[in-house]
């Protein structure tokens, strides 16, 4: 009987552990640069509207990137066809000129928490688009962006 309960408990644990990562996808940029109007798009399905998610964006850039930050505009598309936009400054360097993140000889990678306690009101297919929002036509020195959306393991209360 003890063996039966151990087997049952093991099955419960295995089946209750879903993949906590919804998206973990990198979008590379052309070596010629990221031109104004070019968007990067990620699509993902939200199965659980009570889950709280972490949205993380990793910026992979050259050490010779010319600016302290990178302004981007996020477009979030919802299953009902509505969308929102938000302009964000991704701070890559301190005011004193030191790069944030992990830097090697020629490249740096910085993971920026975009939203730590995000939740989605409706299940279904969502999209996140990222576009450059700088005062120049083409941004050079950024190699890629990686979007990671993970279930935090926390749940929101109804209401």
What CATH number should be reported for the domain holding residue 126?
2.60.120.1380
d(CA 75, CA 146): 16
Mean pLDDT lowest for which of 2-16, 25-39, 40-54, 98-112? 2-16
Q: How far is CA 93 from CA 69, 70, 96, 97, 111, in A?
A: 7, 10, 8, 6, 13
Question: What range defines the domain where residue 98 resides?
Answer: 20-155
Structural domain includes residue 11: no
Q: How many domains does the chain have?
A: 1
SS3 5: helix
Q: Would you say residue 5 has pLDDT above 70?
A: no
Structural domain includes residue 117: yes
pLDDT of 98: 95
Structural domain includes residue 15: no
pLDDT of 15: 37
pLDDT of 157: 87
User: How much is the average pLDDT of 96-100?
Assistant: 95
d(CA 54, CA 65): 27
Structural domain includes residue 43: yes
pLDDT of 2: 57
Confidence tier at 7 by pLDDT (50, 70, 90): very low
């Amino acid at each position: 009987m003890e063996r039966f309960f151990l087997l049952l408990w093991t099955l419960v644990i295995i089946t209750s552990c879903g993949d906590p990562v919804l998206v973990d996808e990198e979008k590379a940029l052309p070596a010629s640069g990221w031109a104004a109007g070019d968007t990067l798009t990620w699509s993902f399905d939200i199965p659980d509207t009570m889950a709280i998610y972490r949205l993380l964006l990793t910026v992979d850039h050259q050490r010779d990137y010319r600016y302290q930050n990178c302004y981007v505009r996020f477009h979030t598309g919802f299953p009902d066809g509505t969308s929102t936009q938000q302009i964000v400054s991704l701070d890559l360097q301190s005011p004193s000129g030191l790069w944030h993140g992990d830097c090697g000889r020629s490249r740096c990678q910085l993971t920026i928490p975009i939203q730590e306690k995000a939740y989605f009101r409706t299940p279904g297919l969502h999209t996140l688009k990222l576009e450059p929002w700088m005062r120049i036509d083409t941004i050079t020195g950024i190699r890629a962006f990686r979007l990671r959306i993970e279930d935090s393991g926390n749940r929101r209360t109804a209401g």
